[in-house]
Structure 1
Amino acid sequence: MSNELPRVQEGEENLSSRIASLIPQSSGLYWGGQWHTPAEVQKLATFNPSSGALLAEVFVGGAAEVDAAVCAARNAAPGWASVPPLERGRRLREAAMRIRANALELALLDSADCGNPISAMMADAEIAATQLEYFAGLVLEMKGETIPTGNGSLNYTVREPLGVVARIFPFNHPFMFAAGKIAAPLAAGNTVVIKPPEQAPLSTIRLMELLADLFPAGVLNCVTGGRETGAALAAHPEVAAIALIGSVPAGKAVLHAAADTLKHTLLELGGKNAMVIFPDADFEQAVAGAVRGMNFTWCGQSCGSTSRLFVHESLHDRFLAALTDRVQTMHKPGVATDRRTTMGALASRAQYDRTLRYIRAGLEEGASLVCGGKHPVDPLLSEGFFIEPTIFADVKPSMLIAREEIFGPVLSVFKWHDEDELFAAVNGVEFGLTGSIWTRDLVCAHRAALRLEAGYVWINDCSIHIPGAPFGGFKQSGIGREESKEELLEFTRIKNVNVSLRS
């Protein structure tokens, strides 16, 4: 299949037929190199957020299915750990090649299933392939070290894989997470069980089909389902580590479930991220950055979205006007599978209703609605989960929309004048994932970066992720780091060996 984006001239009927042809034939439960039917058949429906139409039904994995998948992974773990590191790396690079060869198919499937624009989903496929290649290049970095003893012995450490790793991820980047997040644990010699999002599982199922012959049976496994499926994975005694990308409540639930077996956890959780505009910032670049940082393309459904914008009072009114104009010009909601769409739909009815509740709360608490806040009037979008890009001004730190992660296209704008008060507000939330600072003053930039309580800080930029740069949060935004060598090491354990050299 060509990787050229589908033309809107194909017509709705032809495009719908094309999407239908991409729906995986398998139904979600994959372990031990085979597809399975659950002992008690239950199915989960997945819908097209752009139309509300049913796309497919997949099996729900219960405790029995989770146990079978984990057991398959556990049985395969010693064999995969003994595969030479360079061979593991070769297979990860082959996985990246297959993803690139099927990028359009995967992007179109994801776009129809999660509501994000197809152009963005093509980028997600490339990011996933890059992550596989990056970790393929790190397979020789599982190194130990020697420790001087002074007592006539040799003391050294070795790094070993943990065993079975479970990975759970959300609906905003389904395929990127499915493919990219298997890379580090597999590179380190672990076997993996993944649970895709219940709202958008189809591209993960397709990934299992694409890679079925690449890894030995039991190395890569998938169990579809809802919260109960994830809870069973987190609590399973044979799972050595569990990694979650999701909300703070989901992270706390995973920690509770993992506590009884003291399993290792890696959590990348929510964000209520701040972007700070200083008076000397490059005005046009800062405005563009504020729009880009909010991730309106994904309807704000990104944990790294800079959903709190703090603008110095000397720029505030002009900045707000320019911001509003740029948002309304660049981001008009549209059908996700249309190549011209720059802003898609929210992933589900629940996410749509949740966002509207926050918008109502903002109005009730006295924030000024600058634009958006409702379903678009376009009749072609009437059945989908669309909300116009929304900007609130006159927001106070005590307001609900200023404190809680909305995970929708809602940007809150604050006016500031005192730097101490500014950072009290910026850091006055439970989150600490990302932050963005805009200033031409080098000293100001570094001082602000030190004061910002966040794990990943951009200066005069936003949203970009650099391969090899550790990504993760402070406070309740998570535990551990990803997208770097640190992620590889998260899935290893250190063993110390002391050898007496005395005769």
Structure 2
Amino acid sequence: MANADVNPADHQWRLLIGGELRDPRTGRCYETQNPSTEELLAEVPDAGTADVDAAVNAASVAQESWRRLAVRDRARAVRAVADVLADNLEEFARLDAADSGCPISAMRNDVQWAIDLIELFCDWAIELKGQTVPASAENLHYTVLEPYGVVARIVPFNHPIFFAAGKIAAPLIAGNTVVLKAPDQTPLSALRLGELLREVLPAGVVNVISGVGGVAGAALVSHPRVRRIAFIGSEQTGRRIQQTAAEAGVKHVTLELGGKNAMIVRPDADPDEVAAGAVQGMNFIGSQGQSCGSTSRLLVHESLEGPVLERIRAAVEDIRLGDPLDPETQMGPLVSRPQYERVLAYIEAARADGATVLTGGGPVARFSRGWYVEPTVLTNVSPAAPIAREEVFGPVLTVLPWREEKEAIELANSVDYGLTASIWTNDLRAAHRLAREVEAGYVWLNGSSRHFWGMPFGGMKASGVGREEDLEELRSFTQVKSVHVLL
């Protein structure tokens, strides 16, 4: 077993298929880079169509016996996944910090959050129950919940082990087997998880593949034995998955996609609390703004714009950037060079459109290597500018002042996305009124960024289809069967 001090470049990374660690049939690997040094981090298997087919076939075979276990027995087996995470917490945190550039303190939290989510779904296992329905006076009518079979879980780069481990629990407990597609940019913790799960789960129940360029993902989505697909990532990729799935067959697809989320600040809010909430909500600290739920549009009443921005600027300039493996680091580099270049291009385009850089606005000068971008706050932004409407997925906060509440609501709802929203006010009626009016699936009143396990998380409009982190996520991996007993 590898330990926390192993250099990922020295480790032989393999796919997990049918309980065996395998090299890809393509014979190809691809390189991942350390975001803080730009040096080679690891060579990772580049799976192809044949590897995907083997993984799905292995999952299909394993599902026949897995589905016949009592649901509490499945939950007991899945709890062992949480134990694996707890026993190897530091190793997973270090892998993700090195692979993603996110600070190790945040990655330790991610491992614990995955444990918490797994345990929550295990506790809910007995809730996978049907109903009896009085559809007629003389007969018995009832429903049961049955698994789909093989589930494809495709996860993003920004919280690697949290998504890789936490998002397999619900489909497994529901009686499905899983093919997990690791994120291209940050595959290491998912592949390491696969190695360790061989010791606690039956062969084929979980299979882990990695690959770059969309080949493996497309093969998985279009595979005829995959009837249930759950994806977390960008809107563009989510729409391609919908199209590919529809062309291949009738499949149940859920999507948790991007966001351009609004934080609405009314004139009665406290500037100190608002500033702290805006910095927290932007996720500068922990993920460098690479979070779909980030409240990246600050819609502040014009009477508070000055005091709030003064405090935000001070807080942002106090963020400690550095080596992701340093426990004192609060913000690391972006995940990859393409992401780094994309974020900087958005900032330059905003400048060209007339925006003012309050703070940040470019690469971090004191780092000669690494994809570090300064935490950035932009003012004097046109609501029609791309920076105010498109998901940047980086450490860029856009400020949009307003005068009338109607204007704030229109601004909040003017984009294609609708994932989260944050509302700051001490007026109870206004808080609930605005919560009703905003087009978002997850709303905080006088708060931001936090997730509460058991509450459904998901978006409206282009931010996705379906909900996660709640009981309905567990049930979404089942199909309802109606049974009629004619007496």
Instruction: State the Cα deviation string for residues 27-58 of structure 1 (Å, max 9, x = none).
Output: 23111100112222111111110110101101
Q: Which moved more, 1:300-309 or 1:78-87?
A: 78-87
The reply to whether residue 300 of structure 1 matches residue 289 of structure 2 is yes
Cα displacement (A) at 1:24: 7.8
Alignment counterpart, residue 349 of structure 2, candidates 358, 361, 371: 361
Preserved contact between residue 438 and residue 461 of structure 1 (Cα < 8 Å): yes
Preserved contact between residue 16 and residue 195 of structure 2 (Cα < 8 Å): no
Query: Residue 312 of structure 1 aligns with which residue?
Result: 301
Distance 1:397 1:22 in 2: 44
Instruction: State the Cα deviation string for residues 38-83 of structure 1 (Å, max 9, x = none).
Output: 2221111111101101011011111111001000001111111111
Instruction: State the Cα deviation string for residues 85-106 of structure 1 (Å, max 9, x = none).
Output: 1111112222112211211111
Query: Residue 238 of structure 1 aligns with which residue?
Result: 225
Preserved contact between residue 4 and residue 90 of structure 2 (Cα < 8 Å): no
Alignment counterpart, residue 105 of structure 2, candidates 75, 95, 119: 119
The reply to whether residue 94 of structure 1 matches residue 80 of structure 2 is yes
TM-score calculated relative to the size of structure 2: 0.97
Q: Which moved more, 1:477-486 or 1:23-32?
A: 23-32
- After TM superposition, the structure 1 = structure 2 runs for residues 131-210 of structure 1, keeping only pairs within 5 Å, are 131-210=117-196
- Counterpart residue identity of residue 351, structure 1: Q
Cα displacement (A) at 1:387: 0.4
Distance 2:282 2:75 in 1: 35
Alignment counterpart, residue 312 of structure 2, candidates 314, 323, 334: 323
SS across alignment from 2:192: helix
Alignment counterpart, residue 320 of structure 2, candidates 310, 325, 332: 332
Query: Residue 460 of structure 2 aligns with which residue?
Result: 474
- Counterpart residue identity of residue 235, structure 1: S
Preserved contact between residue 271 and residue 307 of structure 2 (Cα < 8 Å): no
Query: Residue 212 of structure 1 aligns with which residue?
Result: 198
TM-score calculated relative to the size of structure 1: 0.94
Percent identity between the two aligned chains: 50
The reply to whether residue 459 of structure 1 matches residue 445 of structure 2 is yes
Query: Residue 54 of structure 2 aligns with which residue?
Result: 68
Query: Residue 228 of structure 1 aligns with which residue?
Result: 215
The reply to whether residue 438 of structure 1 matches residue 424 of structure 2 is yes
How many residue pairs match? The answer is 483
Query: Residue 268 of structure 2 aligns with which residue?
Result: 280
Instruction: State the Cα deviation string for residues 85-129 of structure 1 (Å, max 9, x = none).
Output: 111111222211221121111101110001000000000000001
Alignment counterpart, residue 385 of structure 1, candidates 355, 359, 371: 371
Cα displacement (A) at 1:19: 4.9
Pairwise CA RMSD: 1.3
- Counterpart residue identity of residue 246, structure 1: G
Query: Residue 252 of structure 2 aligns with which residue?
Result: 264
Preserved contact between residue 182 and residue 190 of structure 2 (Cα < 8 Å): yes
Are the structure 2 counterparts of residues 185 and 23 from structure 1 closer, same or farther at C-alpha, using a change threshold of 3 Å? farther
SS across alignment from 1:243: strand
Cα displacement (A) at 1:22: 5.3
SS across alignment from 1:251: helix
Distance 2:59 2:196 in 1: 19
- Counterpart residue identity of residue 444, structure 2: W
- Counterpart residue identity of residue 449, structure 1: A
SS across alignment from 1:178: helix
Distance 1:412 1:316 in 2: 12
Distance 2:276 2:392 in 1: 22
SS across alignment from 2:226: coil
Instruction: State the Cα deviation string for residues 364-393 of structure 1 (Å, max 9, x = none).
Output: 001111111111121xx2110000000001
Distance 1:114 1:68 in 2: 29
Alignment counterpart, residue 419 of structure 1, candidates 394, 405, 408: 405
Distance 1:493 1:138 in 2: 17
Distance 2:250 2:243 in 1: 10
Query: Residue 373 of structure 1 aligns with which residue?
Result: 361
Distance 2:7 2:35 in 1: 18
Distance 1:386 1:231 in 2: 31
Gaps of 5+ in 2: none
- Counterpart residue identity of residue 313, structure 2: T
Instruction: State the Cα deviation string for residues 457-476 of structure 1 (Å, max 9, x = none).
Output: 00001111111100000001
Cα displacement (A) at 1:282: 2.2
